[in-house]
Structure 1
Amino acid sequence: MSTAPQSHISVAESRPALWTRPFVTCSAANFLLFFSFYQLLPVLPLYIFEKFQTDNSTAGIIISLYTIGALCCRPFAGFLVDSLNRKPLYFWTFFAFTLCFVGYWALGLLPLLAVVRFMHGVFFGISTTASNTVAIDALPSSRRGEGIGYFGISVNLAFATGPMTGMFLYEGLGSNVVFAISVALCVIGLILVKTLPVKPRPKVKRPPLSLDRFFLTRAFPQFLNFIFVGFAYGPVTNYIALYAKEQGIGGSGWFYALIAAGLIINRVLTGRLIDKGWLTRLVGMGMTLNVAAYLLLSFCGTLGPMIPGGTTLLFFASALMIGTSLGLIFPGYQTMCVNLARHDQRGTANSTYLSAWDIGIGAGILTGGSMAQHFGMHQQVFLACSAALFVADIMYLSYTSKYYTREMSKEKG
């Protein structure tokens, strides 16, 4: 008896699985890590003022040590992730990250708190590099862009809900409860990491010391472009509430919620398009939309009076546009960095991508603060951000996207 060939296999059946146990477990653990961090973010300055009676400048320096610690370790994080077994490295740096929450509460000297804050950033930098790499290892290459988009939602959800939760807990129950819940959530995350089924990686012989073990030189154009994106976002993290106050806008906390909403919606909708060959075009659209979003933000007070409720409407519309543009940019640049790397360089690729963000954020915060002090208001800060993004957009469209296409065609050829 002859049988006809099964030529009607559905697309869904032929696609490799995305939501595997390792990927889901790693995404959940990553959410818990970021949620524990984000819920502490608005509480820590208040805790420092309350416990140590310090001034704004000293508190700002201590809080910024977290970013400095993360930035300092990023290149070495990629080296460690690519050189050591990833699961133990992920677990033990996550464990040390958890202990830092206890350190904030237990230590009674400000210099010791500063050390803990710096080390918290170091362990954050290594553990997040490891988590990104373990998650990408679990993804089929044909669905990598889609998977990276979904994995990023774990961070976006934490960003949308963490700070709000932290403030509610602090105002209702005090800082000790915030620290305790952060530790409890991290312990659950540690249990998830412990159960991660991670396949052992084959050993690859490489030169003992080479630049590409610390920085993915092949992705330098992407690295440079992404710094500009982080530079523009830095002032949003620190100064948007002050800018809203200058414009007479209340409820500025919703600004971050709308950014998160735009990020999540776009990550869900565009992941598959990235894997279908739209990668460079989607990032280009995101870069251009990002310029428009910051222009709208900087001129919302000027254009707003022309329409009823316009200033508030344009202010929050710019937030949704920023989130939508970043929903295209984030997974796009990370996918490009990973695709440009060898299989044994995925940790380095992720640390290069994350380092660009850290550098941009830090530079944006420092520059934005100086500009605001010089001009006496924050409108010029966001106008400067839009100018920087315009330069980055031109650079991407004229060189970076073409460079990526050329490099990837070499591999196929």
Structure 2
Amino acid sequence: MNQEHKLWTKDFIMVSVSNFLLFISFYILMVTLAVYSIDKFHASQSKAGLASSIFVLGAVIVRPIAGKMIERVGKKRLLLLGLSLFLIIMLLYFPVNSLPLLFLIRFLHGFAFGIATTATGTIAADIIPMSRRGEGMGYFATSMNLAMAVGPFIGLFISQNFDHFVIFLVTTVFAVVAIVTSLFLAIPKTSIEAKTFQTKSGFHLGDYFEKSTIPIAILVAVFGFVYSSILSFLSSYAEEINLVNAASFFFVMYAAFLLVSRPFTGKWFDIKGENMIIYPSIFLFGAGLIILSQAQHAITLLIAGAVIGIGFGTFQSSAQTVAVNLAPKTRTGLATSTFFVFYDFGIGVGPFILGFILPLIGFRSLYFCMAVIVFIGILLYYLVHGKKAVDFQKDKKQTKDIQVG
């Protein structure tokens, strides 16, 4: 295969590994910090939840700044800066002796995570050949999806069998390996005219957000809001319907079926265009939520995990690819940060809002309502991007026909 079209290069594998280690640390800490806060500091449920979620707030705040800085500072330098901060702050968990200090550490840790993951997403988009971007971004996103399945499993296993010290030790080791891996990255440089930075003065919103990314990012925020209902309330729902054991394998099914589908969906994205992938993935996401809302047996819950994995997992990576493709080459960093600011916002605000709604309607109605929102999202996607994607594919086909003729 031509080297210019090769996907599985050393650098692509390394940046994917670093991204995986960041996200697996994120999920390990997310599922254990609430229990840790209650056990060590006798925190209330609300404060324990804040100890987990304030991390996301830190990431949301710093992403626009990281997106603005990445081309000026350099992608590899920003990645190593983010990873180094991530490791240093990770070490601060060991001596923490008060709940307010834990809140501060979690917030700053979110800062470091936001910087590092903005860099990994941007680097991956630059390394992947344009002709295989849909396939490549799909595989890169799998590093997050696998972490989503493996991280909570490892976190809960350590929490149930070992001291909390071991949780911080394991995540520290992951941070060290991520830094070592990133040191050997060779990243293509993007040429940017110096006047780009010299002619602008004062505050400009466009310096922190990529305008072309915002429409698709709004849909991502809506679906992130919906998906937060699964991340936050699946365990409680499983207890209510007596399927706790099956629920522990929900995300395993999610990751397994997403991984199996990835070789096909990524290639179809590049060959047939985004609409051929995104419309079915949204439909599957909604269908999976309906199945989840009606689950009464373990097999039904696991089927829901598989369907949601293919649906939401494929949509997420496809939407990220769309966001990067729409942005100018020199603003892929901003496009990546803008995408994740909206996604993180949806994930972060979801549990807070849904927490008020849940007591009024119950779990089954909640997931059914989430499915309705997703199906409405099909129309929203058409309005924000799907219609334009059809026109683009027509122009692309006409250009190809002219060249052949």
Does TM, scored on the shorter chain, surpass 0.5? yes
Q: Secondary structure at the match of 2:185?
A: coil
Partner residue of 2:181? 192
Q: Secondary structure at the match of 1:111?
A: helix
Q: 1:33 to 1:215 in 2, by over 3 A?
A: same
Q: Is the 8 A contact 1:212 1:348 kept in 2?
A: no
Q: Which residue of 2 aligns with 1:402?
A: 387
Is 2:374 the counterpart of 1:389?
yes
Equivalent of 1:257 in 252, 260, 265: 252
Tell me if 1:290 matches 2:285.
yes
Gaps of 5+ in 1: 1-11, 302-310
1:277 to 267, 272, 285: 272
Report 1:321-400 matches (<5 A): 321-375=307-361, 377-400=362-385
Provide, for residues 239-288 of structure 1, a one-character-per-residue CA deviation record: whole Å limited to 9, x for no partner: 00111111222311111111122222222321111111332220011111
Contact 1:82 / 1:348 at 8 angstroms: preserved in 2? no
> Amino acid of the residue matched to residue 181 of structure 1?
V
Amino acid across the alignment from 1:330:
Q
Please state how far the C-alpha of 1:13 moved relative to its aligned partner: 5.2
Counterpart CA distance in 2 for 1:85 and 1:71 is: 21
Among candidates 216, 231, 237, match of residue 231 of structure 2: 237
Closer/same/farther in 2, CA of residues 268 and 184 from structure 1, 3 Å limit: same
Is the partner of 1:54 in helix, strand or coil? Answer: coil
Could you say which residue in structure 2 is the equivalent of 1:163? 152
Report the equivalent of 1:308.
Answer: none
- Provide the residue aligned with 2:261 in structure 1: 266
What residue number does 1:51 align with? 40
User: Residue 318 of structure 1 is aligned with which of 282, 304, 311?
Assistant: 304
Q: What pairs up with 1:207-218 in 2 under 5 angstroms?
A: 208=200, 210-218=204-212
Number of residue equivalences:
392
Aligned partners of 2:14 and 2:182 also within 8 Å: yes
Correspondence for 1:134:
123
Structure 1: which 4+ aligned runs deviate by more than 6 Å?
407-413
Q: CA deviation at 1:394?
A: 1.6
1:334 maps to amino acid: Q
What RMSD, in angstroms, separates the aligned Cα atoms of the two structures? 2.1
CA distance in 1, matches of 2:156, 2:363: 25
SS at match of 1:104: coil
State the identity as a percent: 30
With 199-208 and 95-104 compared, the bigger mean Cα shift is at 199-208
**CA–CA distance in 2 between the matches of 1:74 and 1:184?**
25
**Larger of the two Rg values belongs to structure:** 1
Deviation at 1:18, TM superposition (A): 0.9
Q: Distance in 2 between the 1:148 and 1:370 partners?
A: 36
Distance 1:15 1:127 in 2: 26
Contact 1:213 1:345 in 2 (8 A): no
Q: Is the contact between residue 65 and residue 208 of structure 2 (CA under 8 Å) also seen in structure 1?
A: yes
Residues 262, 322 of structure 1: 8 Å contact kept: no
Worse-matched range after superposition: 334-343 or 147-156: 147-156
Q: After TM superposition, give the deviation of residue 148 of structure 1 in Å.
A: 0.6
Aligned 8 A contact 2:4 2:129 in 1: no
Residue in structure 2 matched with residue 6 of structure 1 by the alignment: none
Secondary structure of the residue aligned to 2:53 is helix
User: Once the 2 structures are TM-superposed, how far is the Cα of residue 408 of structure 1 from its aligned partner?
Assistant: 7.6
- Of 150-159 and 165-174, more deviation after overlay is shown by 165-174
Q: For 2:385 and 2:189, how far apart are their aligned partners in 1?
A: 34
Aligned residues of 1:71 and 1:125 also touching (Cα < 8 A) = yes
Q: What is the TM-score when the length of structure 1 is the normalising length?
A: 0.89
Aligned counterparts of 2:325 and 2:57: Cα–Cα separation in 1: 28
In the alignment, is residue 30 of structure 1 matched against residue 30 of structure 2?
Answer: no
Question: Which aligned pairs between 1:300-311 and structure 2 lie closer than 5 A?
Answer: 300-301=295-296, 311=297
Task: Say which of 294, 299, 302 aligns to 2:294.
Answer: 299
Cα deviation for residue 15 of structure 1 reads 7.0
- Deviation at 1:138? 0.9
